[in-house]
Amino acid sequence: MRAAASHSSASVPPTTPTSPLGLGARPGVGWRRRRRRGSYGGGGICREVRQRRRGESRALWSEPEGEAGGARGWASSLNARMDNRFATAFVIACVLSLISTIYMAASIGTDFWYEYRSPVQENSSDLNKSIWTDFASDEADEKTYNDALFRFNGTMGLWRRCITIPQNTYWYSPPERTESFDVVTKCMSFTLNEQFMEKFVDPGNHNSGIDLLRTYLWRCQFLLPFVSLGLMCFGAVIGFCACICRSLYPTIATGILHLLAGLCTLGSVSCYVAGIELLHQKLELPENVSGEFGWSFCLACVSAPLQFMASALFIWAAHTNRKEYTLMKAYRVA
């Protein structure tokens, strides 16, 4: 019995319970290689873990990239909206500037700043002939041509004065007036000497002293419109250069020039109104004669607010665009 037991125990090889192979054989080099290659599942688990970590890292990297892309898209769309808004303001300001320039040029070149309404003098008496002759003379003083303007439906501009007289004159008593009564308009231009001539306290009386207020008002009323027109033209040149450079920064200078032009136009209109009122205080209008401001004066009055609006749009577009550009630049740097 002891021999059989010893023989059976000797024939059964000892086992190692801690061995992963379940037998007593020790793992060799091949087992280690197979374990590295994942034949027993350890390599597959590690691969899954690595892939999972890679996916999480990719997701973590993709989130900032998506946020950055969204921020870039938002910034580009905001920049496009800002550019459209500023471009619209710039175009509107250019249109207003063009209209005001046309109005100002038309008011300077026409003779209807002030109009007088009086009964038409149909006869050709000696008095009327002398008035017409004095009106057309180069040496006509302020009282002489104003008397003609009062009597013969005169109109006065910045550079010319006009009267309406009968086309056919008679030395005898004129025939009865018909509806086909013809009249002609005769105009005389103010020379530079007349524009800079001193105005007297009593018009027509050279011994009454110089009226400095009316003198400078008269000089300003024809100089300021030309200054206004020149400023607008110079501003248009700067705006054209801004369009070529594709920048709104030079439009600040254009807006300032339009602001000065509007002030000059407003000053010209004010000087003209003050000069007319002072003249009518010196020379009262005859009976049945009325005076009113003409459409040339109205064009100048309309031109001034158009210049102010164009100036405001130019300055707003340039200043706001620069501010928004600074904010966008700071946001991109941040």
The per-residue pLDDT for range 179-221, each reduced to its tens digit, is 445 778 888 888 888 888 889 998 888 888 899 999 999 999 9
- Angstrom distances, CA of residue 322 to CA of 24, 71, 80, 93, 317: 85, 21, 15, 18, 8
Confidence (pLDDT) at 126: 62
Q: Which fold has domain 103-333?
A: Butyryl-CoA Dehydrogenase, subunit A; domain 3 (1.20.140)
Confidence (pLDDT) at 45: 57
Q: What's the pLDDT tens digit per position in 56-110?
A: 555 444 444 444 444 454 444 444 444 577 778 888 999 999 999 999 999 999 9
Does residue 223 register a pLDDT over 70? yes
Percent of the chain residues past pLDDT 90, beyond the cut: 31
Confidence (pLDDT) at 333: 42
- Which amino acid type is present at position 133? T
Q: Where are the beta strands (DSSP E) in 171-243?
A: 183-189
Through-space distance between the first and last CA atoms of the chain, rounded to whole angstroms: 93
Does residue 38 register a pLDDT over 50? no
Tell me which long-range contacts 266-271 makes (C-beta under 8 A, separation of at least 24).
Answer: 266/304, 267/220, 267/224, 268/220, 268/221, 268/222, 268/224, 268/225, 268/228, 268/300, 269/297, 269/300, 269/301, 269/304, 271/217, 271/218, 271/220, 271/221, 271/224
121 vs 107 pLDDT, higher one = 107
DSSP state for residue 130 in the 8-state scheme: H
